[in-house]
Structure 1
Amino acid sequence: MKQTRTVRQSIVVSAVLLSVLFFLPLAVIEPFRAELFGRETPVEESEPEVGKLDGEVMLQVLNGDMVEEMNLGTYLMGVVRSEMPASFEEEALKAQAVAARTYTLYKIETGGNHGDTADICTDSTCCQAWISEQSARENWGDQADTYAEKIETAVRDTDGQVILYDGAPILAVFHSSSAGLTRASGQVWLNDLPYLQAVDSPEPEDAIPNYYSRAEFSAEEFKSRVMQAYPEADLTGEISTWIQNPVTDEAGSVETVTIGGITMKGSQVRTILGLRSACFEWETEGNTLIFYVTGYGHGVGLSQYGANEMAKEGADWLEIVTHYYTGVTVGPYTPAALQAP
């Protein structure tokens, strides 16, 4: 019996030793498999996390010549990355996200610009600017992770929040900076909307790039630009008499002005001459017209630099949007036609 027990113990010990000898090399090699055999452990790429409400709304987005399907949250992250500096305060970024969401739904509800082709596009001259996360990260450099998280948080923390007037999304336009006072839509465009009225805007002029700008035009260049838009304009005589009768608001933005006998809006002059805003003054020096311009953009709705200054002073995103868009409410709004099945 004793000899049999000894044989059995020897067999067990031998089995254990064989197991150790077989598995030990694998245990040693496994942590270094990639280095030894040149195979990298695959990294799973994940989409940015979006909120439930934004995630339920699917969009057809015209990006260049291609139509891409993405949810509203993913689209909004691309808009906020492109439209507002990621270095801005978090509450300002949230206000931008809410404005962009509202603008998107307004365009869809009112028919948009692309018919059956797409709901919205990535062209700032048509809809809103948009940039992919990869391209944005290349621009952000060492701050890429921090800025990406700020943008995702701004969209996710305002999930589904829309600026409403009479229960419908508003035309939530925005601009870079005003001259301390935003402009009513009727001062710039044809329709005067009740929620797009002039409001005070804190503009930190020392912190705004090119807040003050200057543009010069020779008499020939000025005449060519104006005559192309208004062939009936009379630009004869002394250059100092070509521009007359300016009507301005409290901040100095030009509401109307007469050029060559034609009365036009300051916003039209801005477009014709390519000025940064319609808040301008001018003077003549010899045969040259010189324009001095304040701010950047059409001046209607949310001022991005003003929103950032409000955030620095302690305002949250809701205070910011209800300041710049008058008489509005804020709450969830999802068009039934865009809800995912």
Structure 2
Amino acid sequence: MFRPLPSLVLGLPAALLAGLAGPPAVIAAREPEMRVLLQRADQVTLRADAARPLRVRGGGLERLALQRLEVRLVDGRLLLDFQPQGDPSEPLQRRELSASTRLSLETDDPRGIWLAQRRYGGVLHLTVHDRQIQVVNQLGIEAYLASVVGSEMPQDWPMAALRAQAVAARTYALRQRGKAGGFDVKATVASQVYRGLESATPRTEEAVDSTRSLVMVHGGKLINAVFHSSSGGATEASGEVWRSQLPYLVSVPDHDQESPVHRWQARFDAMQLRRAFGEIGGARSFQVLATSSTGRVRLLRVQGPAGSLNLSGRELRQRLGLKSTMVEFAWLDGEPEDRQAPGRNDGTRWVGLLRDPDGEGGDDALVPPPPLPASMVQPQPVLEVRGRGFGHGVGMSQWGARALAERGADFRQILQHYYRGVQIRPFRPSDDPAVALAPALEPAWRG
């Protein structure tokens, strides 16, 4: 039996929770389709899975049934090498096309189309964009989500967590429709991970089907349903990470203690630090200038042999490849120490700096550690970064969702914990102007 946590139900009226428990309504609109950017490359190879061929539209290939197609961009032209269905020993045929040609491939085979090491359903569109071949997968949102849920979460996690992931991913995807030219979302963590047909399993399909068409809205609009792997104990308010503070993306307690990245460490030697901070010759000390309410680094100063550098927490994470910005610093081998600046109580931390007792600033004078004689062998200190969590920390924590599900929370309670004050209801055409009403004979997209 689920025992509500105080933080889970805080501020949620009983009437609202009761209203969310009702059956979903029928939505009289066609199921939206997603356009997912899979790849940008100079060369693309696609092939049929087995006996059922690829069908191509565009480039004058409409009458051909293909087993394999290679597309290259050479000197501003598309070169196509293809193998018609039949004898695999037959040599490849070639055709040259204008770079403005749009190719669309599909198959009747439920095993989909191979692209690199993955298989995809729906239609694959090939166009030239920024002097590269762009591959976009167009498919219904529910089929897309079955793969996203399996790509973002282990399929053997509790069903309530998988359902919460399905609703969050559906909301996020629908909100992105039409925002980018030629595609809606990317197949990577830049949007949400989508790995094609292999990641769709009976359990992820159940999670998607049982929440069919459900989305989260706030003030009548789809929310920005961002999520991350693990928060390290508390999620972050959106305004601490991005420019705007959204009313539903506030900091809440998280329960991700079982996450393998709840606590982590990373070490960097002198050479790695020189690569990360090349413009200042490496790093000798780190001064944290500002943190968020949850302890994530917002601004810090890196002191190197050739100067100093002010970085945001996000920039620091990118330079060092850190899992999150909820970090502290220490030097190994006992050389520099992590000390609070003398005379300060504003939370500023100084790493690798020592007081100068003879300096004019008295107790507040801080200088780098004195150099050792050149004749002595000087051990190179190693920076150890001690962190918590994985990701930006905003919105739903996936490991936290798992923990809540294991305590008995259903997917609605999980979502209401991480996205405060939202309404969970079936998607409406008015939520997204890009979704057209279905022709009268088309089946409804049912919630």
Task: Normalising by structure 2, report the TM-score.
Answer: 0.55
Q: Give the letter aligned to residue 318 of structure 1.
A: R
In 1: Cα distance, 2:35 partner to 2:286 partner: 46
For residues 61-93 of structure 1, the C-alpha deviation after alignment (integer angstroms, 9 at most, x for no partner) is: 333343333111011111111011111111110
In 2: Cα distance, 1:70 partner to 1:326 partner: 31
Q: 1:325 is matched with which residue? A: 419
Q: Give the letter aligned to residue 199 of structure 2.
A: A
Q: 1:72 is matched with which residue? A: 141
How far the C-alpha of 1:200 sits from its partner, in A, is 0.6
Q: 2:382 is matched with which residue? A: 288
- Asked whether 1:337 is paired with 2:434, we answer yes
How far the C-alpha of 1:95 sits from its partner, in A, is 0.5
- Asked whether 1:303 is paired with 2:400, we answer no
How far the C-alpha of 1:128 sits from its partner, in A, is 1.5
In 1: Cα distance, 2:26 partner to 2:138 partner: 17
In 2: Cα distance, 1:268 partner to 1:189 partner: 13
How far the C-alpha of 1:196 sits from its partner, in A, is 1.5
How far the C-alpha of 1:149 sits from its partner, in A, is 2.2
In 2: Cα distance, 1:266 partner to 1:58 partner: 36
Normalized per residue, the structure richer in helix is 1
The match for 2:184 among 114, 119, 133 is 119
- Asked whether 1:107 is paired with 2:204, we answer no
The match for 2:266 among 188, 195, 215 is 215
Matches of residues 135-284 of structure 1 in structure 2 within 5 Å?
Answer: 135-136=198-199, 148-205=201-258, 208-227=259-278, 231=279, 239=284, 242-249=285-292, 251-260=294-303, 261-284=308-331
In 2: Cα distance, 1:316 partner to 1:218 partner: 46
Q: Which runs of 5+ in 1 are unaligned?
A: 1-50, 138-147
What is the percentage of aligned positions where both structures have the same residue?
36
Distance 1:168 1:258, change over 3 A: same
Q: 1:61 is matched with which residue? A: 36
How far the C-alpha of 1:164 sits from its partner, in A, is 1.0
Is contact 2:146–2:199 with CA below 8 Å preserved after alignment? Answer: no
Q: CA RMSD for the aligned pairs?
A: 2.4
In 2: Cα distance, 1:88 partner to 1:167 partner: 31
In 1: Cα distance, 2:321 partner to 2:266 partner: 9
Is contact 1:187–1:265 with CA below 8 Å preserved after alignment? Answer: no
Q: 1:32 is matched with which residue? A: none
In 2: Cα distance, 1:216 partner to 1:262 partner: 20
In 1: Cα distance, 2:291 partner to 2:187 partner: 34
Is contact 2:286–2:329 with CA below 8 Å preserved after alignment? Answer: no
Secondary structure in structure 2 of the residue aligned to 1:82 = helix
Q: Which runs of 5+ in 2 are unaligned?
A: 1-24, 40-133, 333-379, 440-447
Deviation >6 Å, runs of 4+:
none
In 2: Cα distance, 1:209 partner to 1:253 partner: 19
Secondary structure in structure 1 of the residue aligned to 2:301 = strand
Secondary structure in structure 1 of the residue aligned to 2:434 = helix
Is contact 1:179–1:252 with CA below 8 Å preserved after alignment? Answer: no
Secondary structure in structure 2 of the residue aligned to 1:307 = helix
How far the C-alpha of 1:224 sits from its partner, in A, is 3.0
Is contact 1:91–1:317 with CA below 8 Å preserved after alignment? Answer: yes
Is contact 1:279–1:293 with CA below 8 Å preserved after alignment? Answer: yes
Distance 1:151 1:223, change over 3 A: same
Task: Normalising by structure 1, report the TM-score.
Answer: 0.71
- Asked whether 1:86 is paired with 2:155, we answer yes
Normalized per residue, the structure richer in strand is 2
Is contact 2:148–2:199 with CA below 8 Å preserved after alignment? Answer: no
Larger Rg: 1
